[in-house]
Structure 1
Amino acid sequence: MTVFGADDEFLATALPFLTEGLTAPDEPPPVAITAPDKLDLLHNALGPDAKNVGLIPHTDWYTGSAANAIAQGAGYLAAHAGPAGRVHLLMEPVWNGRAGRSPRETAEWIRYEALANLLFAPFATTAMCVYDARTAGPAVIDAARRTHPDTGVYEDPARIAAELDAVPLPPPPADAQPLARPDAEGVRRRARARGLAVADAELFAESVTATAASVGPVTSTLLWGEAPSCVCELRTARRVDDPLAGFVPPPTDDLEPAQGLWFARQVCAYVDVRDDGAGSTVRLQYA
């Protein structure tokens, strides 16, 4: 992890890293995923080598939720990396966009930064995360330092996930509708009544039923909110205490029932899981 506050500081870190990637044996070209203005800086500074470096605007990479970013990274490594996932990646999340839009969004992206250490540990990828102090801000940077092994304040990703999950969820509103069971037709009908378009209601219903199949048995179901922020809360009789639940990319596109939480995290803007002694609460918010 590198923090910088000026363009020349960014180049002083990024150029040696990318040059190392250009000369690494058995690796494809290195990739920089940063803000567009920094890509311009890199293109000019690299000179003729610029044509051998992948330059991707971070707004094209981080296009959705933190879970979507995990899928994006896993897909890129599978399609483009060298043996065992070898590639140099320079990465800058969009902290002045969705990731920094609210405390809740920031918390999910800190979770992403923490869990990435576990999810991508099997790969021989060389990654450098860069943080622009002019956009990320001190609170984000302090939190991010705890998720990067080279900072001196690194903490176990599971501990960070548990800390984030210790924040209680807001109680359901008084007008939350109980459902007899989380069946697709019931969720779809109520989501449509709350304003979701047909295609969105279908995806939301699929997310709910897939989650129920993977974390059940479900003991109660509530639905509330207006489009696009429809929410469905499932109460389960068993705990979902794996911090990686729903974050591990499946080996194929044909999902097994146990991978329903992965599907939900890819479709929904937020999937919150809270455990207690009697089971778990899983709350899905479409947008």
Structure 2
Amino acid sequence: MLVHRALPYATRGEFALTAVPYLRAGCRAGDAVVVVSAPDTAALLRERLGAGTAARVEFIDSADWFQGPMHALAAYHDRTRADWWPRGRVRLLAEPVWDGLTPLETREWKRHEAILNVAFGGTPTSIMCAYDASALPGHVLADAARTHPEIAGPDGVRPSERFTDPSAFYAECNAVPLPPPPPDAARKAFAAGELPGLRGFLGAEALRLGLPDDRSLPFVLAVNEVATNIIRQGGGRGSLWVWAEEGGLVCDVSDPGRALTDRFLGYAPPRGQRSGEAVMWAVRRLCHIVEIRSGADGTRIRMHVRFG
């Protein structure tokens, strides 16, 4: 069964009073115990745990792990199945990196916390997410109480009175409208038989807009997967727009002939022969952030790829 807790703290000492017993309990139980944090936090925990106990904990640098919401979610999926669950229960202590994020990235990290409740529901997983109350914006702390069923602290664990159903929280994130493509965005329509030309167009735009070579192929593959799925499973034809914005490249794909019903599409590995799940799982992993808006007028899928 999933346990998902927020750990708001005001001081490093307060953080350690909750985190250290949590980690010690996992070591005693024989769990796979993992800490994803900044190096200074890892050093604090190693000191408080002692060398013997700390040696049983896997420490991961948060700067590497939290490169993006989907990057982190995919890493959780990969490592739990390959390394952690085979050893029994996994017990994670993680402190996401909130500094330097755009409003879009901040919203998607909040969505990520809500999705963890769905993606790992019913699995042998404990996740405690630390939040520095002395440094983080109030809205981040407020939404931590909405995306975590429980709140942990030195006095114990209590249910979060503000916890929100993940579907409702997800819908709130999607209530933010996607702004239209800028006037100078390059546009191209596509239909059956036109995918080779579409891939050539995407490659040329990636080059023109300065996307590095090592990111151009994932970008083209992601958009091609979405366009192929629209042709085969959606309305049969669509349009897309490509443009650069600060820090990356954006491609907006429109499918006027279909509305999607699976709100969590692509956030978990595909089950069986469900092509839509497989496509969006691959697309999300190829991109930094993927936004989906779907309704009576069809579906828009907006893919963000970072320059660096």
Give the drift of 1:128.
1.2
Distance 1:197 1:228 in 2: 12
Distance 1:171 1:270 in 2: 17
What TM-score do the two structures reach when normalised by structure 2? 0.84
Give the aligned partner of residue 171 of structure 1: 180
Give runs of aligned pairs for residues 193-212 of structure 1, distance below 5 A: 193-212=208-227
Distance 2:43 2:205 in 1: 48
| Counterpart residue type for residue 171 of structure 1 | P
Q: Taking structure 1 as reference, are residues 196 and 34 closer, same or farther at Cα in structure 2, changes over 3 Å only?
A: closer
Q: Is 1:3 matched up with 2:22?
A: no
Contact kept, 8 Å, 2:269 with 2:277, in 1: the verdict is no
Give the aligned partner of residue 80 of structure 1: 83
| Counterpart residue type for residue 182 of structure 2 | P
Give the drift of 1:235.
0.9
Q: Is the partner of 1:105 in helix, strand or coil?
A: helix
Q: Is 1:136 matched up with 2:141?
A: no
Give the aligned partner of residue 223 of structure 1: 242
Q: Give every structure 1 segment of 4 or more consecutive aligned residues whose post-TM-superposition deviation is greater than 4 Å.
A: 254-258
Give the aligned partner of residue 3 of structure 2: none
Give the aligned partner of residue 44 of structure 1: 47
- The C-alpha deviation readout for 1:175-217, integer Å capped at 9, x for no partner, is 2222131632221122222222334222211110112233533
Give the drift of 1:144.
1.4
Matched residues, percent identical? Answer: 34
Distance 1:174 1:275 in 2: 23
Q: Is 1:247 matched up with 2:267?
A: yes
Contact kept, 8 Å, 1:214 with 1:258, in 2: the verdict is no
Distance 1:244 1:36 in 2: 33
Q: Which has a greater percent of strand?
A: 2
Contact kept, 8 Å, 2:37 with 2:96, in 1: the verdict is yes
Distance 2:161 2:212 in 1: 48
Contact kept, 8 Å, 1:268 with 1:286, in 2: the verdict is yes
Q: Taking structure 1 as reference, are residues 220 and 84 closer, same or farther at Cα in structure 2, changes over 3 Å only?
A: farther
Contact kept, 8 Å, 1:221 with 1:235, in 2: the verdict is yes
| Counterpart residue type for residue 156 of structure 1 | D
* Unaligned runs of at least 5 residues, structure 2: 1-5, 151-159
- The C-alpha deviation readout for 1:109-128, integer Å capped at 9, x for no partner, is 00000011000113111121
Distance 2:276 2:148 in 1: 33
Which residue of the other structure, out of 254, 277, 285, is the alignment partner of 2:296? 277
Distance 2:220 2:249 in 1: 11
Contact kept, 8 Å, 2:70 with 2:285, in 1: the verdict is yes
Distance 2:304 2:43 in 1: 37
Q: Which moved more, 1:108-117 or 1:76-85?
A: 76-85
Give the aligned partner of residue 124 of structure 1: 124
Q: Is the partner of 1:235 in helix, strand or coil?
A: strand
Q: Is the partner of 1:286 in helix, strand or coil?
A: strand
- The C-alpha deviation readout for 1:216-261, integer Å capped at 9, x for no partner, is 3342222222696222211112112322112112469x99565222
Distance 1:199 1:22 in 2: 40
Contact kept, 8 Å, 1:148 with 1:154, in 2: the verdict is yes
| Counterpart residue type for residue 244 of structure 1 | F
Give the aligned partner of residue 90 of structure 1: 93
Distance 2:290 2:258 in 1: 17
Give the aligned partner of residue 284 of structure 2: 265
Distance 2:165 2:282 in 1: 26
Give runs of aligned pairs for residues 96-115 of structure 1, distance below 5 A: 96-97=99-100, 101-115=101-115
Give the drift of 1:170.
1.1
- The C-alpha deviation readout for 1:34-63, integer Å capped at 9, x for no partner, is 22211111111111311112222212321x
Q: Is the partner of 1:234 in helix, strand or coil?
A: strand
Which residue of the other structure, out of 51, 55, 59, is the alignment partner of 2:59? 55
Give the drift of 1:149.
0.7
Higher RCO (C-alpha 8 Å, min separation 6): 2
Q: Is 1:153 matched up with 2:173?
A: no
Distance 1:102 1:228 in 2: 10
Contact kept, 8 Å, 1:85 with 1:123, in 2: the verdict is no
Contact kept, 8 Å, 1:194 with 1:227, in 2: the verdict is no
